[in-house]
Structure 1
Amino acid sequence: MKSQKGMATLLVTAMLLVVSLLFSLASYKNTFYQIKRTQNEVLARQAHWRAEGGLECGFAKVNEESDIALITNSNYFNTDCNISGNDIKIDVITLNEYVIQSRNTNGNSAKKISKRFSLAGGRAPGTIKATSNLLLEGSTVMYPDPGFKSGGEYECVIARYAGSIEIKGTVTNAGLHFAYPPYDGFHSNPATWPICKSTNQSVVTDNKIVLGSPKPSVFGDDYIYSANLDPFKDVFHVPKADWKKIRDKSTTTVITGSVNCSSAIASSIAVDSDRIWVEGNCDLGSNANLIQEAITTAGIPGIVLVVQDGILSVNGAQTLSALVYHFKSPESTFMPTVSQWNTMSAGAQLTEAEKLTVGYFQFGAFHPKGGYVMDAPGLTAKIRGSLNFSFNSDVFQDALDDLETINWQEGSWNDF
């Protein structure tokens, strides 16, 4: 009987030990789980902050880059930022707008963070930007600045304006076409070429926009009014009041205007300058081809041509790889005169009254590929002739590279 009692005690003790062992194993399993979970959390947070650091490294590298065209190269970040498990790349969203993605792999943890940035806050789209009054005479077909993309379609802006617009004849927004890409890399497949929004592809015949009156409905959303338009800031990234900072930069070539302006500009390009600033009257005449030949010889995409506080006159059908900027400085009292216009090659095409108000005049199908900026408030920019115009921003990008700044876009941070 005593031996049976001992056996029962031993059995109970063994069962208690087994139960204790089971509880201990369960506790250890939970502890191991918590340790593993903590380790994974540490790895995940490390991956997050390394990816965040990669994003900042990428942004800093881009901010110091003198040739923005390089930033989309697949190996661009390899040396400086693709370390500690980071893989950084940049994709183009629209012209001058990019998204930078930083992915970090840390053991079994991976984290991807992205954020958008723009160059100099982003260039406002527009084939023509004008604080001058615009007068277009003749039949004009324009392949526009595509602008921003929304819902698979582009806004395709013809004009961004702060003055009046009068069209005598027809201006046709021809939309986007694979034969006239607005910049390199815009799209690759002609069969799926992008289109403009239907509300942003106007055909306007003999109509006008008068400030203070409603815009006629025939002018679609490809004509954008902006009362506070500052095209100088849009192009050069400083307010118009600081225009001398751009003129006086070592990368800007300043020359004096003349009736032989094309020759003087061509000579400046020959000494490796792609931003030409002309002071006073400038008559390109029928010799803009000299400028184009100089651009081709120099092996550059194009130029930015500024004519300040003077008449800008063009005569004849010519194509020029340039952004043409007619500029009246804020403190200037410049007004054109009859005698000044009488020295210009196209002056005879203006009436006596027009010679007192027209600051820019082109007679013929002059085609500056980089578009027009007519920034002379109170004056008129007149374009007369049958014009087939295709916008291409590549012609002026290099000439403005030294002025670019990089800015994060607020609200674009994403944590995947």
Structure 2
Amino acid sequence: MKKLNQGFITLSITSILLIVALAYSLSSYRGVFYQIKVAKNEVEARQAHWKAEGGLECGYSHMIANDDKGIPTTLNSDCSWMGLSSLQASASDASVLVAQSGSTKVSKALKFSAAAVNGAIKSTSNLVIFGSTEVSPPDPGKLNKDSEYECVTAVVSNYMIATGINNKGVGTHIPKPSADFDNSYDCAASHKTSSTTKSGIWQDSEDNFVKTNVLEDFQRIKELNPFKDRFGYERNEWQEVRDHKQYGFLQYTMTGSDVDCVKKFLPDLKKGVPNAVWITGSCQMNDTSLNALKNLQSKNKGTYLFLMMHNGVVAIEGSGTIEGVMFQFNDGFTPDVKHWDSFDTTIKAIVYNHGGPTNFDSLLQTIYGVDTDARLATYLQSGSFKFTGGMAFDTQGQIALFNNSLNLQYNSDIDNAFDFSFPPTWKKGTWNDF
């Protein structure tokens, strides 16, 4: 009996040990199973992440191939073979592409070329024109439902004033604004200013910007950004534009009292093709230099000129036509009377007028309401002279003076000869590319 009890005790202890061992084994198994499940989830999450990143690259490739200027709505179907949940622009930012695979979202911002703003002249400078403004033709803009062009002469961020404006339209008796332009239609009456009195855009007595004797061919866009509109880069990124290999700017720096910029770049122009020139510093173009430039263009068709004037004052004195675009851009440049000291006597006579009243005083008084010194201008043009590819000023409230009229003859073929657009690129710093 004693032996039977001992066997029972031994068997019981053994059973208990086995049960404990089994319980431990089951517990360990659950832990191992949990770890396997976690690992599987992590693998699936990483697969979804990389699948979403692949979706971004697929969408980007489609945008590159189609030269898209924004994120299209068709990317998810274009990349359907990837089986993404979605591939589209962010609802809060149209420049951010979002790819979703299951519950995983990956996004990255893109940089696109800016959409162009219409206008024969675009300016954040305050335009002050002593004399009439003649436009023949303006930028035709778009054709409306009544088969009339919504022509655009000028777009400014603040002030423009002239002693008269005559928009001659885009009809059959006017030079075409492009070779393929249908000039059987003219500007709409609402977009064709004709005024013989003081005209433009400035503030009234209650500081509201109002149009005076101008129609819809003159526009004010408070947030106008000609630099970004042209190049797709912010103003403080100007060095990237200047040094962009694709743009190919010929670069020159004016030093000391030397302001004859044409003498510097004229020998380097490639004949028969568009040339982009970047001038840093002040520049003067008088009759002599203008004639040299006009002669080169007349003898070598297609030698168009994109002339960027950066951080200086600019004076153009003479008549005629330059086939090209003029762009003045000042960033961190403060005008001073002394900046005009190295210019021709005739230029200084217009700006200084020996300390007495200038032709611009009455116009300046109208838009500013107080006495403003014309010598603090950063641009002066005197004479019947024009750039046929249009003009742009981005000097943030500085003054551009036109003495004895402003002539605009817009040709989009010349303007479009300078393509500073670029394919969409990933915006640095919006993902893992720091």
Q: What range describes the TM-score normalised by the shorter chain of this pair?
A: 0.5 to 0.7
CA contact (8 A) 1:285 1:344 kept: no
**3-state SS in 1 of match to 2:210:** coil
Question: 2:399: which partner in 1?
Answer: 380
**3-state SS in 2 of match to 1:145:** coil
Displacement of 1:62 = 5.6
Identity %: 23
Is 2:148 the partner of 1:153? yes
Determine the C-alpha separation between the residues in 2 that align with 1:311 and 1:299. 30
**3-state SS in 2 of match to 1:196:** coil
**3-state SS in 2 of match to 1:264:** helix
Is 2:353 the partner of 1:347? no
Deviates more, 1:205-214 or 1:299-308: 205-214
Map 1:304-343; keep pairs closer than 5 Å: 304-329=306-331, 332-337=332-337, 339-343=338-342
Question: 1:185: which partner in 2?
Answer: 180
Determine the C-alpha separation between the residues in 1 that align with 2:62 and 2:302. 28
Determine the C-alpha separation between the residues in 2 that align with 1:121 and 1:261. 30
Is 2:231 the partner of 1:236? yes
Determine the C-alpha separation between the residues in 1 that align with 2:328 and 2:420. 21
CA contact (8 A) 1:342 1:348 kept: no
**3-state SS in 2 of match to 1:395:** helix
Determine the C-alpha separation between the residues in 2 that align with 1:269 and 1:209. 38
TM-score (norm 1): 0.63
Amino acid at match of 2:130: E
Deviations 1:181-211 (A, max 9, x none): 1112112xx5xx1211211111232134224
Determine the C-alpha separation between the residues in 2 that align with 1:262 and 1:59. 40
Among candidates 193, 204, 224, match of residue 202 of structure 1: 193
CA contact (8 A) 1:252 1:273 kept: no
Amino acid at match of 2:341: N
Displacement of 1:300 = 2.4
Displacement of 1:255 = 0.6
CA contact (8 A) 1:270 1:298 kept: no
Question: 2:243: which partner in 1?
Answer: 248
**3-state SS in 2 of match to 1:242:** helix
Determine the C-alpha separation between the residues in 2 that align with 1:239 and 1:398. 22
Q: Which has the larger radius of gyration?
A: 2
CA contact (8 A) 1:147 1:154 kept: yes
Determine the C-alpha separation between the residues in 2 that align with 1:356 and 1:185. 43
Gaps (5+ residues) in structure 1?
A: 1-55, 65-118, 408-416
Map 1:33-48; keep pairs closer than 5 Å: none
Amino acid at match of 1:278: I
Deviations 1:58-95 (A, max 9, x none): 9866639xxxxxxxxxxxxxxxxxxxxxxxxxxxxxxx
CA 370–406 in structure 1, closer or farther in 2 if over 3 Å, else same: farther
Determine the C-alpha separation between the residues in 1 that align with 2:299 and 2:243. 26
CA 154–57 in structure 1, closer or farther in 2 if over 3 Å, else same: farther
Determine the C-alpha separation between the residues in 1 that align with 2:236 and 2:61. 34
CA contact (8 A) 2:390 2:415 kept: no
Amino acid at match of 2:281: G
| Structure with a larger share of its residues in strand | 1
Deviations 1:246-294 (A, max 9, x none): 1112311111234222222312314766110000000012222222333
CA contact (8 A) 1:303 1:322 kept: yes
Determine the C-alpha separation between the residues in 2 that align with 1:312 and 1:217. 28
Amino acid at match of 1:210: W
Among candidates 146, 155, 166, match of residue 172 of structure 1: 166
CA contact (8 A) 2:201 2:212 kept: no
Deviations 1:130-162 (A, max 9, x none): 101110111231021111222122111111111
Cα RMSD after superposing both structures: 2.7
Determine the C-alpha separation between the residues in 2 that align with 1:354 and 1:241. 28
Determine the C-alpha separation between the residues in 2 that align with 1:120 and 1:235. 8
Displacement of 1:334 = 2.6
Among candidates 215, 218, 221, match of residue 226 of structure 1: 221
TM-score (norm 2): 0.61
Determine the C-alpha separation between the residues in 1 that align with 2:236 and 2:214. 31
Deviations 1:93-125 (A, max 9, x none): xxxxxxxxxxxxxxxxxxxxxxxxxx9453211
Deviates more, 1:370-379 or 1:343-352: 343-352
Question: 1:276: which partner in 2?
Answer: 277
CA contact (8 A) 1:310 1:359 kept: yes
Displacement of 1:360 = 0.5
Determine the C-alpha separation between the residues in 1 that align with 2:230 and 2:294. 22
Determine the C-alpha separation between the residues in 2 that align with 1:369 and 1:273. 13
Question: 2:125: which partner in 1?
Answer: 132
Displacement of 1:318 = 2.3
CA 210–217 in structure 1, closer or farther in 2 if over 3 Å, else same: closer
CA 217–283 in structure 1, closer or farther in 2 if over 3 Å, else same: closer
Displacement of 1:236 = 1.5
Question: 1:393: which partner in 2?
Answer: 412
CA contact (8 A) 1:268 1:276 kept: no
